[in-house]
Amino acid sequence: MPIANYLYLAAILFTIGAVGVVVRRNAIVVFMCIELMLNAANLAFVTFARINGNLEGQIVAFFTMVVAACEVVVGLAIIVTIYRSRRSASVDDASLLKR
């Protein structure tokens, strides 16, 4: 299997994630789509590390995982708080910053 296929997979995953962020309203789903994009990027990093024969891509992938973990903590907390206050997890309802 040519190694480029990993990159195609990463691109497909990223696109799915991006489309999901744009089209879905539920904050949890949006959040998961963002995770999907991050992991697609991770996959690409790891693939490049393999192609180039060094570890830098893998190190960045670890970093991304740490950042993603932090993001999950903060993000979920915000979503839960919003859900508590307004009984909805729709991102369209949370447009307060506009006004």
Nearer to other proteins among residue 9 and residue 21 (C-beta): 21
Residues 72-91 binding other proteins (CB under 8 A) are 91
**Residue 97 interacting with other proteins (CB under 8 A):** yes
Among 1, 2, 22, 84, binds other proteins (CB under 8 A): 22
Cα→Cα distances 29→22, 53, 68, 86, 95, Å:
11, 36, 15, 18, 18
**Residue 99 interacting with other proteins (CB under 8 A):** yes
The torsion defined by the Cα of 33, 38, 44 and 47, in degrees rounded to 10, comes to -110
Beta bridge partners of residue 72, listed in sequence order: none
Cα gap 9→44, rounded to integer Å: 9
**Residue 69 interacting with other proteins (CB under 8 A):** no
Comparing CA positions, the residue from 50, 38, 41 lying closest to residue 1 is: 50
**Residue 23 interacting with other proteins (CB under 8 A):** yes
Nearer to other proteins among residue 30 and residue 61 (C-beta): 30
Nearer to other proteins among residue 22 and residue 66 (C-beta): 22
Nearer to other proteins among residue 8 and residue 62 (C-beta): 8
